[in-house]
Every structure is written in C-alpha cells, then in structure tokens.
Structure 1
Amino acid sequence: MPILESTYKPPFQFKNGFVATVYSGLVRKIKGLEQQRERINTRDNDFLDLDWSYAESKSDAVIILLHGLEGHAQRPYVTGAAKLFNRNGVDAVCVNFRGCSGEDNRFYHSYHSGATNDLDDVVQHCIQKGYSKIYIKGISLGGNITLKYLGEHREIPSEIKAAIAISVPVHLASASKELHKFKNKAFAIRFKNHLVNKLKIKINQFPDNITVTEINSIKTLRDFDEVYTSKAHGFKDALDYYEQSSSLQFLKNITVPTLLINALNDSFLSAECFPVKEAKQNDNLHLEMPKFGGHVGFIQKNNIYYNEKRALEFVKATVQD
C-alpha cells in the first residue's frame, strides 16, 4: 500500500514533540463520557475490567480501545476516541490490561507488549454480545498488541472490519534503546517507578517468585523487563521478549484494513518503527508518518485529536468499501 501523505498541522506551540507529548498525557481532559464497568474472566481464569460507553441508539458496531504502558481505560487518549465514536453511532469498550484497573490481577504474570490472548478474549466477548462490526484501536503498547494480534497465525474473526494503531514501537529492542536515552529520561523513570511499585505489591502474594534484592536491582525499564517481564511470561530474557513480541515481523501477514500512524518527531520511536517497506508490500497496511505529533500528541482544535479523527475516517471508509 502506498505510504499515506499526512495532513496533520498542529498549533504552533505543539510542533515540539516533547511539549505535545506532555500536554496530551498530563493536561488534556475529556468530559461528558459515561462509562459502565464490566468484569470478564480470561481463558486462564484471570480477569479483565472493561469500561463501556454507548452510542445514543442501539449499535451493531463497537470499537475496542487499548491503552499504552501503565495506562488505563480513563486515559484521555482512550476516552477521547470513545467519546468521538459514540457520537458517530459506535459503541466503545475501553480495556484495562491486567492490573491496570485499580486492582491487582490474580497471577504473578500480568500483561506485556506481545500478550494477544487477552485481546482475543475481548473480541470473542464482543461477538457473543452480538456485535457484527468490530474495530480495534491500540495506542503505543496497545498498538503493538493490535498489530501482532492481526498478523499472528490465528484465525481472525470476520467481524473485525478495521484496525488503527497509534504511536507504536513496532520494533521493541530499538525502541527500548530510544526510551533509555537522555531525551526520554523523565518518561523512562516515570514508567519504571509505576511498574516497580506494582511489583512490590506482588512480592507479598508471590514471595517464591521474586526477592526484594531482585526488585532493588531494577534501575531501568530494561532491568524491569529482564527481572520481571521476561521471567514472568516465559521468555529467556529481555531481548528474547523484545524479539518475540515485536509486531514488525507480523505486519506482512495482516489481512484486515489497518492504519498505522507514527509521528516522525516521536522521541520514543527508533528508525525501525517506521515500516515503510512492510507497508508498501501489504495492501492492507496503511502507514501515515506525520512530521509532528510526538507520542500520542496529535493535538487539534475542539479537543478532538487528529489521530482520533483519522481513525473515524478510516473506519467509515472501510465500511463503505
């Protein structure tokens, strides 16, 4: 598929990727969205908390929204999309990954960048509820899960009509190196501290799985993936986790119309996270690379972000086709 030319033009003050990223993560607010929580069991007897919002009239379409690392279903980049789709006749289910809904999950393992079974459980749940048109939108880590899910060797339900992935580190190893650079130090420390605090809770329930010494050895996000993520989820080490979980290798297999938007000034992304070759070789993969936008910072007027507007446009075009 030819590379899409982006029309995104941010307000002048948000051309800086750092400013756009910080504003969107810490300042933006979404008002007027009512959510109803539902808890479902996963195939391994853990649970997921789903936060639903609905269109004004009964809809046969739903969008599944997946947050990023240490996010949750009330983050504005999730609720903003939910509100826009609700206003346009589509129900929305905002997924809280394991341990991200305010309550720790049942097991030592939780969620990670390549854990696609939970997404499949949500898809199957939506099908059981009677939805005939399912869209998926994933942000950052949630975007990697979306792309990997669509390109894995599994049967994709026919109800899935389109997918959108935003600010996605499709090549985890090189993206991890970017995140550890000085330019991203504040973000990396914030992520690491959130993750370590959760791990400290798990040590009380699973004292045989990890020690205080091991937790104290975690100084970086890479350390966290070495000490916890890889070991808890069956990988050899952090590098093995990155290699197996990166969605880049699965893009060639995607058969569902999919839009990937990665900003060129996203400081979290490496050169490998702009899969031009893969997009050109797959008619179902539409790659858009705006000059601006930072990491999930596609700010526009009226508090409707460019990536949210593009997601709706893409879905509408897909349905018409």
Structure 2
Amino acid sequence: MSGMIYKAGFRPPRGLANPHIQTLLPLLLPRSKVRLETELLTLPDNDIVELSWAQPSPADARAPIMVLFHGLEGSVDSPYARMLMRTAADMGWRAVLMHFRGCGRVPNRHLRSYHAGETADAYWVLSQLTRRYPNALKVAVGVSLGANVLLKLAAEQGGDGLDLAGAIAISPPLDLAASADAINIGFARCYQRHILKSMKRKVMRRVEDGSLDRINRHQLKELDTFWAFDNEITAPLHGFESATDYYRRASSGLMLHRIELPTLILHAADDPLMPKSLLDRLPVPSRSVRIEMAEHGGHVGFVEFRQGLLRPWLARRVAQQLESWRVVPGRQQHTQPLGRNQPLE
C-alpha cells in the first residue's frame, strides 16, 4: 500500500509534536461558534436520529451540502464538529451533522444503538437529503468512528449507490481490533476510560429501566476495555457473535479496494489509536482513494501554528478539499475517479 500514500501538508508547532499533545490540543482551542437548529427524524424502524443544521442556512436549494458523521460518543458539541460545521458554513455550504442513535440530546427508543459498522442509518439520512435537495452537490465527512462508517458505506454502495461527489475520512480506525488493542496501551488507556464511561452510562439507563437484563450493574462496571465492552454489549445487541466477529465485519480497512467514490483519507503516522504498521497489512485501495499521511498529528489532532496562533489544520485542509469538489450551481455535475498519481488539490 505504500505507493498509495501521499505526504500530508501538516506540520506541528515546535515542541507540540507529541501525539497525545496533538490529540488533546483541540480541547484547549477556542470553540468555533456556530448557531444550530435541531431536527428529529423518525427512522424506518421507528427509532429516531437527531440532525444539527448550521444556521443561517443558504437560501438557494442548490447550495452544496456537507454532511458530517461524528466519532465514538461524539456529538455536535465535539470541538472538531463545531470547527468543521463552521468551516463549511463560512464557505456557503449547507452544513449538517447526523448524530448516531443515542448521541444527540434525545435518547433513542430502541436497545439497538450504533457501532462502527452500522451504515444503514447513514444511508437513510443521505437518501433523505437527496429527496430534499436533489440538485445540490453533497460531500460527506467522517471523523474517527464516523470515518470508518463512511468508508464502509462507500465500499458497500459502489460508484452510483450514493448521491455524493466525494468523501473525506479523518483518522478512521481502519482495523477495529488493532485500534482496540492500541487504545489499551500506555497513556491511550485514558481515552479508553473516558469513552467507556460515557458508553456505560447509556447502557446503565437500560439496565436500570429493565429493558436490558442480560447484564447487571456490577458486571457492567467491570467492563474496563473496548474488547470487554464490545464482547458483552455491542456484539450481542447488534447481531455479532463476539467482539472478534464485530471487529472483523465492521472494519473498513479491508474494503478500501471496493471504493469507487472519490475519497480522501487524512491520517497521522503517530495516531495513538492505530498501529504504525497497519497500512502495510491492508490491501491496496482503489484508484479512487487517496491517503494523505502526516508524520505527526495524533488522533483527530492536527493543530498547527499559523498567523501567530494555534489553529486547526483540518479546517484548512477540509475547506481546500470541499472547494475542489464544489460545482457552480446550474452547471452539469461530473465526478471522475481519482487516479493513483492524480492530486486531489
């Protein structure tokens, strides 16, 4: 796969190249201000999904749309979400974030929640956007778990299966088992503990209201790794035999060769949630996929020093990519596959 990897343009500030510093720095930056409007949509199985729309929205129904899929236990309040929503809105795009089941402000109705391989809800939401805005160019952006969902969806649907001009995947956990191992090592365990606390809080509500009786409060508290949680909770609730089965079937890395949609993957070689050698173990992606790898950046970090301040490089790179895919309203839209040596920029 090494021939498919391009060097990303990100450079960390002097003294701030450590992967954990980069991962945590976005939490310290001023939060992007964006006014939001919430919409609740009823899914085909009568559960709900919550959308957050950046306001004011463009008056032109043909304005391009950026739909954002967040990371594990993320939401529109996550720093990267606010930053990307503001970036797109400032460019005149209609920006919307889809909360995975149970991640918005309103709890979802069913025991079924979301996971890294659940693509049906995302596909359904994209179909609703097509119904509402049939003439608008659309680009999807996924972050971490949401990036894995987006890549898997693109692989499943083929070139004509999605009404998208392109996809941007930021720090996707391409091999979920390898990521579950990596987050259980050293300082990365702090991320695991923080995320699991949020995940277990949601499950605890189900235990206390009696809708989930396969595990008790004490057993839930003992689940202290992703492997344990996914084996006892995620897998059985979503039709997988085990965590191993879930990770194997939900990982997008082995499906990159099937992607026909123009796709940009942004990654850091020092991402603490992905082993450095992982890309070398995966099949060569299709010609439509471009991987840009930065030496540093951590996990969804990529904070640079620009114009005298610490700023998110992701905002600059995503804006550049959105602009390259943008089509002037009224012109015929064409999306060509990206060649292996054809630059996205």
The TM-score with structure 1 as length reference comes to: 0.92
- Are the counterparts in 1 of residues 19 and 272 from structure 2 also a CA contact under 8 Å? yes
Letter in 2 for 1:289: M
Change (3 A) 1:38 1:297: same
Deviations 1:10-65 (A, max 9, x none): 212321111111121x3233243111000111122111110001455535311111
TM superposition shift of 1:316: 2.4
C-alpha change, 1:118 and 1:147, in structure 2 (3 Å) is: same
C-alpha deviation, 1:307, in angstroms: 2.1
Partner of 2:331: none
Aligned to 1:305: 312
Q: Distance in 1 between matches of 2:281 and 2:213?
A: 45
Structure 1 residues 6 and 235, CA, compared in 2 at 3 Å: closer, same or farther?
same
After superposition, the Cα gap between the structure-2 partners of 1:68 and 1:34, relative to the gap in structure 1 and judged at 3 Å, is same
Q: Is the 8 A contact 2:235 2:241 kept in 1?
A: yes
TM-score (normalised: structure 2) = 0.86
- The answer to whether the 8 Å contact 1:53/1:92 transfers is yes
> Is residue 266 of structure 2 the alignment partner of residue 268 of structure 1?
no
Deviation at 1:319, TM superposition (A): 3.7
The equivalent of 2:5 in structure 1 is 3
**1:190 Cα deviation (Å)?**
0.8
Aligned residues: 319
Evaluate the alpha carbon distance shift between residue 316 and residue 57 of structure 1 in structure 2; reply closer, same or farther with a 3 A threshold: same
Local SS of the residue matching 2:153: helix
Structure-2 change in CA distance of 1:79 and 1:169 (3 Å):
same
CA apart distance, 1:188? 1.1
Alpha-carbon separation, structure 2, partners of 1:93 and 1:245 = 25
Question: What residue in structure 2 maps to residue 145 of structure 1?
Answer: 149
Counterpart AA for 1:316: E
Q: Is the 8 A contact 2:254 2:283 kept in 1?
A: no
Greater shift after overlay, 47-56 or 121-130?
A: 47-56
**Greater mean alpha carbon deviation, residues 134-143 or residues 302-311:** 302-311
Q: Distance in 2 between matches of 1:3 and 1:160?
A: 23
Pair 1:294 & 2:298 matched: yes
1:262 and 1:274 in contact (8 A); partners too:
no
Question: 1:138 and 1:273, CA in 2 relative to 1: closer, same or farther beyond 3 A?
Answer: farther
Counterpart among 212, 232, 240 of residue 227 in structure 1: 232
Q: Which moved more, 1:102-111 or 1:287-296?
A: 102-111
Determine the C-alpha separation between the residues in 2 that align with 1:144 and 1:257: 15
In structure 1, C-alpha distance between the alignment counterparts of 2:280 and 2:112, rounded to whole Å: 30
| Cα distance in 2 for residues equivalent to 1:86 and 1:96 | 18
Letter matched to residue 10 of structure 2: Y
Give the 3-state SS of the residue equivalent to 2:6 in structure 1: coil
Q: Is the 8 A contact 1:263 1:295 kept in 2?
A: yes
- Please tell me whether the aligned partners of residues 260 and 286 of structure 1 are also in contact (alpha carbons under 8 angstroms): yes
- Residue 277 and residue 169 in structure 1: after superposition, are their counterparts in 2 closer, same or farther (change >3 A)? closer
Q: Which residue of 2 aligns with 1:178?
A: 182
Distance 1:308-1:276 versus aligned 2 partners, 3 A rule: farther
- Residue type of the alignment partner of 1:286: R
| 2:109 matched residue in structure 1 | 106
- Inter-CA distance 229–290: structure 2 relative to 1 (3 Å threshold): same
Q: Structure 1 residues 228-237 or 73-82, which shifts more?
A: 73-82
Higher helix content, 1 or 2: 1
Q: 2:248 aligns with which of 243, 253, 263?
A: 243
Q: Does the 8 Å CA contact 1:230/1:238 hold for their aligned counterparts?
A: yes
Deviation at 1:148, TM superposition (A): 0.3
RMSD: 2.1
Distance 1:162 1:168 in 2: 16
Equivalent residues of 1:151, 1:253 under 8 A apart = yes
Cα distance in 2, alignment partners of residues 135 and 212 from structure 1? 42
Q: Identity percentage over the alignment?
A: 26
In 2 relative to 1, CA 129–29 (structure 1 residues): closer, same or farther, beyond 3 Å? farther
More moved, 227-236 vs 296-305: 296-305
CA contact 2:152–2:252 (8 Å) conserved in 1: yes
Q: Which residue of the other structure, out of 191, 211, 218, is the alignment partner of 2:216?
A: 211
In structure 2, the gaps of 5 or more residues are: 328-334, 336-345
The answer as to whether partners of 2:158 and 2:258 remain within 8 angstroms in 1 is no
One-letter amino acid of the counterpart of residue 298, structure 1: F
**Offset at 1:272?**
5.4
For the 8 Å contact 1:72–1:100, the answer to whether it is kept is: yes
Q: For the residues of structure 1 that align with 2:229 and 2:31, how far apart are their CA atoms?
A: 32
Give the CA deviation at 1:155. 7.1
Q: Which runs of 5+ in 1 are unaligned?
A: none
Q: Which residue of 1 aligns with 2:43?
A: 42
CA contact (8 A) 1:257 1:318 kept: no
Superimposed CA distance per residue, residues 156-181 of structure 1 (whole angstroms, 9 cap, x where no aligned partner): 44530010001111011111100111
Structure 1 residues 273 and 66: alpha-carbon distance in aligned structure 2, compared to 1, 3 A threshold: farther
2: distance between equivalents of 1:273 and 1:152?
22
Structure-2 change in CA distance of 1:153 and 1:61 (3 Å): closer
Q: Which residue of 1 aligns with 2:23?
A: 21
Q: Which moved more, 1:35-44 or 1:54-63?
A: 54-63
